[in-house]
Amino acid sequence: MELEFDGVIWEWRGPAPYHFVSVPEDECEQLAETAAAVTYGWGMIPVAVEVGATRWTTSLWPKDGGYVVPLKDKVRRAEGLELGQEVTVRLTVDV
C-alpha cells in the first residue's frame, strides 16, 4: 500500500520531545483496513517514509483514533524542515 498526503509538522513536548506529521482521516481509514495484518504492539504500523529526497523506515504511532508519522531530527535537518511547515509525506506499507 502506498499513500501520499500533505501535513503540517508539529511538536510533542513530552519527556522526550519529538516532531510529527498527522496522517489525514481518509488515509487513516485506509491504514485501519490493513492494520491488523501489519501492526505490532500498541497498534504501531511499520512503514517506509519519504519526505523530499530523504527515505527512512519507522512506524506510525496511533493517536486519537488516527496515526502520526514521527520525523527524526536527522530527517528534518537533511530536508531543512521547520515546526509548522507543510510537507508532502509518502508512505509505503508492506501488506
- pTM for this model (two decimals): 0.89
Q: What CA–CA distance (Å, rounded) separates 92 from 47? A: 6
Topology of domain 2-92, per CATH?
Elongation Factor Tu (Ef-tu); domain 3 (2.40.30)
CA dihedral 54, 58, 2, 66 (to 10 degrees): -120
Q: Which of 13, 8, 21 is nearest to 67 (CA)?
A: 21
User: What is the grid cell recorded at 89?
Assistant: 509525506
Q: What CA–CA distance (Å, rounded) separates 65 from 29? A: 10
Alpha helices in 1-95 (DSSP H): 25-38, 73-79
33-86: pLDDT as tens digits: 888 888 877 789 999 999 999 999 999 999 999 999 999 999 999 999 999 999
